[in-house]
Amino acid sequence: MTAPTVAGSDVDEGEGEDGAVLLSVENLRTTFYTDKETIRAVDGVSFDLRAGETIGIVGESGSGKSVTARSVMGLVESPGRVESESSIEYRGRELTTNTEKEWQQIRGGDIAMVFQDPMTSLNPVYTVGNQIKEALRLHQNLKGQAATEEAVELLQAVGIPDATRRLKEYPHQFSGGMRQRAVIAMALACDPSVLICDEPTTALDVTIQAQILELLEELKEERGLAIMFITHDMGVIAEVADRVNVMYAGEFVESAPVEGLFENPKHPYTQGLLRSIPGNNVGSERLETIEGEVPTPNEEATYCRFAPRCPEEFAECDHVHPESVPVGDEDVHHTAKCLLYPEDLPKAGRIGKHEQRSGDEGGDRS
């Protein structure tokens, strides 16, 4: 099919080439203020997302992954807010100062989102075809026969057979996997450059999950989409991501290209997550788990938030905040927030480096 043209956007199409930075997030801080506490759900996260690239954000429930996604979509609601020192740039344009009207133009146009439950996006009382055509009308000004033809092409592009007939069906007549494909078709109807996927395969069985991951890979290749993929599942991350950010209690604690992360995980949390993948501990009688839960980040990070669960913890972990430091080959940009690094420094030198970086509010971006 022909790729739809960008609607509602004044950006230079040339910037969509593979490798161009589309989304640049710097020091993102999203805080929820309640009567009882201040929750730093996202606490100083930075990353770039390039055209034709998938970045993964992985971590347990409560780590801040979904709040990161909602912040990038302008969907944080009271009592939450994106703090003023945060920056989210889309093609060089700052989004954090957007009005709601400007956000609406970005959402579903330049940046689209696919949620875990397809019924969050589908209206049960309208046919799938009507919903895709409505998106085409809003974002590409397509109507009538042209919209129907484009909707058929979109359903075919996401692998739904007998697309002309299925356009006339309602969401409840689709299986779970087909519904998620229909939601992806709706997202593509807006011709986004960036697709944010928040646990899109978690509710699906493994066969269907594999098909959806394959579909996303194809769409990334064919359309040069930039994909931000959120999951708690390291196995899924291995399949889908080019770069991985491991998130814990509001912070990215390790960032690396996917091969580097899986071959040489550095942060004790990442190492624990990898040990807890079924099949990664052949010969062991029990599946390893990380004891305890992700803490609510309700105080300033003046220490390592992973310390209570960390098998490597030592005294300084309780009062020095680990900053992001290079932990591997500089060329591949592998960083971790842990006082065990840089490995080549003696302990006092390492601690001093983290204290100094903390003072500078420095650190590497993903």
Residues that bind ligand SF4 (CB under 6 A): 268, 304, 306-307, 310, 312-313, 317, 322, 338-340
Q: Which is nearer to ligand SF4, 73 or 327 (CB)?
A: 327
| Pairwise CA distance, residues 208 & 230, whole Å | 17
- The CA-based angle 164-171-220, given to 5 degrees, is 70
Q: Which is nearer to ligand SF4, 72 or 307 (CB)?
A: 307
Q: Are 297 and 250 in contact (CB under 8 A)?
A: yes
Q: Which is nearer to ligand SF4, 121 or 366 (CB)?
A: 366
Smallest separation, CB 337 to ligand SF4 (Å): 7
Smallest separation, CB 313 to ligand SF4 (Å): 4
| Pairwise CA distance, residues 52 & 72, whole Å | 18
Q: Which is nearer to ligand SF4, 80 or 265 (CB)?
A: 265
Which residues on adjacent β-strands are paired with residue 88?
25
Q: Which is nearer to ligand SF4, 109 or 268 (CB)?
A: 268
Q: Which is nearer to ligand SF4, 162 or 343 (CB)?
A: 343
Smallest separation, CB 79 to ligand SF4 (Å): 29
Give the residue among 139, 137, 156, 157 at the shortest CA–CA distance from 147. Answer: 137
CA 125 distance to own-chain centroid: 30
Both tokens of residue 247? Answer: 């998130």
Q: Are 40 and 301 in contact (CB under 8 A)?
A: yes
Give the residue among 326, 245, 184 at the shortest CA–CA distance from 53. Answer: 245
Smallest separation, CB 271 to ligand SF4 (Å): 10
Give the residue among 219, 221, 328, 276 at the shortest CA–CA distance from 58. Answer: 276
Smallest separation, CB 320 to ligand SF4 (Å): 8
- The CA-based angle 23-271-263, given to 5 degrees, is 75
Q: Which is nearer to ligand SF4, 265 or 322 (CB)?
A: 322
Smallest separation, CB 304 to ligand SF4 (Å): 3
8: left (phi over 0), alpha (psi -120 to 50) or beta: left
Smallest separation, CB 248 to ligand SF4 (Å): 9
Give the residue among 155, 73, 54 at the shortest CA–CA distance from 111. Answer: 73
